[in-house]
Structure 1
């Protein structure tokens, strides 16, 4: 038997990874155009999940629609049994699980978007007696009447705005919603979207769509296998997926970030990226020469470009330049898919060779005073560099134990 995911653009889907952790069956990704749907549905595939933009389109090919799927008007799980093609909606369970995980009681919600996912979310909210309004991007400006809903205590983004590769986008100003208890973004790539950063900054509870994705996959797999599954697996699978986040290293020039990063790459199997090395490739000259010929401002522009690029990806060890924290705009691109570790080394032990700003101890002391608070603000944890091996073990131990955002 073979199973899979039907969609239009799937290169960064987590579904294959998730299903392979749930059960021992073949699960692949099937990118299809709308004109290919009928042939695919009638092919020899045993069952499949459906993602945007086909959750409503597939309904006309089905012999049976579950009561929940019929009520929602969207299908994300299809199975073939006894010559019939049966359609279900497991997104309902996924979102319900995600909502419960927040541990809050909500009374009034705003849903951004009016697609198939927002339909499911609306039914879940209605069943929980949470009143809601949908704001559609088709209405321009969609937020024109936002003041009418400023008592909302839950905000849910059910649009693809902010999703990879268009990271850093958001639809709404959270300051207009002063009563928010939580913000949910059904996007899970990146792990922290722009709207979730806005919630984080305001100390509002927030959650991405990873729990929803895993929850719906588990219920779909239960349908595929025709047996009950343990829902405790959701948390286990989430923890496993979070191991694919990046490890970002920040700290003073010469603190050992590159050496630690290289060894972390060997130990974890994650790809190693040294942002200074990437800058040198683009500029085709050493860092010291960039400073000499082009100035620090040009270097920082190149650095920001690299940070925005590599920060979008996952499963990397990223060693940054010592001054990356000077620009607060570098924080979100680095943090969105990562845990950030501040490598702390005694100033007298810093390696000064080839470092244009670290010419002598007095210069180093000045740099430290300028940046020390920013290192703290950027980082999730401080790691002492007494020895490379010890630092590597401390980071690995912390990273694989932590599931915080």
Structure 2
């Protein structure tokens, strides 16, 4: 009898402001496993902020850099992994994350994203010049849905409520 491979990573995807880092750190602590933020790894590896890389490279080259980096970087054997919001543009990165990971989509409405992220143009947000937040949201939404194994609607959840909901999912999947 074939059984599904064990889940070793819990990968958080979603728009900026969804709480991937905040929720991810707390979730990892409660599960007793490592926490990794791919944006932080990318900044450390290249020695510059995401915004600086984006300004220098442009959004398409930055997305390619992110995809290649996430597809090949070292990750702990067991971890909660918070990703950059644009990682879903990179099929090889997402395929790598899905190999032994459960993809958890922290879903927000556009209104909530706008309320939570007023500085999106200064935080390494990968989008075409002049592209508005609504357009990026509409562009990414089908990608988040495509890759998600589990979707958690987070508009009305506190950080603790999101962590508790995800902890239940993760505990049901862990080896």
When the two structures are superposed, what TM-score results if normalisation uses the length of structure 1? 0.38
Q: CA deviation at 1:254?
A: 2.0
2:147 corresponds, among 375, 378, 391, to 378
Is the counterpart of residue 401 in structure 1 residue 172 in structure 2?
yes
User: Alpha carbons of 1:250 and 1:366: their partners in 2 closer, same or farther (altered >3 Å)?
Assistant: same
Does the 8 Å CA contact 1:270/1:317 hold for their aligned counterparts? yes
Equivalent position SS for 1:349: helix
Alignment partners' CA distance in 2, 1:346 and 1:308: 28
Alignment partners' CA distance in 2, 1:335 and 1:371: 18
Higher relative contact order (CA 8 A, sep 6+): 2
Matches of residues 79-90 of structure 1 in structure 2 within 5 Å? none
1:277 corresponds, among 37, 40, 45, to 40
1:365 alignment counterpart = 134
Alignment partners' CA distance in 2, 1:344 and 1:300: 21
1:295 alignment counterpart = 58
1:331 alignment counterpart = 94
Alignment partners' CA distance in 2, 1:384 and 1:369: 16
Q: Which has the higher strand share?
A: 1
Does the 8 Å CA contact 2:64/2:90 hold for their aligned counterparts? no
Larger Rg: 1
Equivalent position SS for 1:255: coil
Q: Which has the higher helix share?
A: 2
Alignment partners' CA distance in 1, 2:81 and 2:73: 8
User: Alpha carbons of 1:310 and 1:358: their partners in 2 closer, same or farther (altered >3 Å)?
Assistant: closer
Is the counterpart of residue 316 in structure 1 residue 85 in structure 2?
no
Is the counterpart of residue 254 in structure 1 residue 22 in structure 2?
no
Does the 8 Å CA contact 2:71/2:92 hold for their aligned counterparts? no
Alignment partners' CA distance in 1, 2:137 and 2:15: 7
Alignment partners' CA distance in 1, 2:96 and 2:126: 26
- Cα deviation, 1:288-309, whole Å, max 9, x if unaligned, reads 1111111123322331233223
When the two structures are superposed, what TM-score results if normalisation uses the length of structure 2? 0.83
- Cα deviation, 1:199-235, whole Å, max 9, x if unaligned, reads xxxxxxxx57x7xxxxxxxxxxxxxxxxxxxxxxxxx
User: Alpha carbons of 1:251 and 1:333: their partners in 2 closer, same or farther (altered >3 Å)?
Assistant: same
Does the 8 Å CA contact 1:253/1:358 hold for their aligned counterparts? no
Alignment partners' CA distance in 2, 1:277 and 1:356: 12
Q: CA deviation at 1:357?
A: 3.7
Equivalent position SS for 2:28: helix
Alignment partners' CA distance in 1, 2:162 and 2:47: 32
Q: CA deviation at 1:263?
A: 0.8
Alignment partners' CA distance in 1, 2:88 and 2:9: 17
Q: CA deviation at 1:316?
A: 0.7
Alignment partners' CA distance in 1, 2:91 and 2:30: 30
Q: CA deviation at 1:310?
A: 4.4
Equivalent position SS for 2:13: strand
User: Alpha carbons of 1:248 and 1:371: their partners in 2 closer, same or farther (altered >3 Å)?
Assistant: same
Equivalent position SS for 2:80: strand
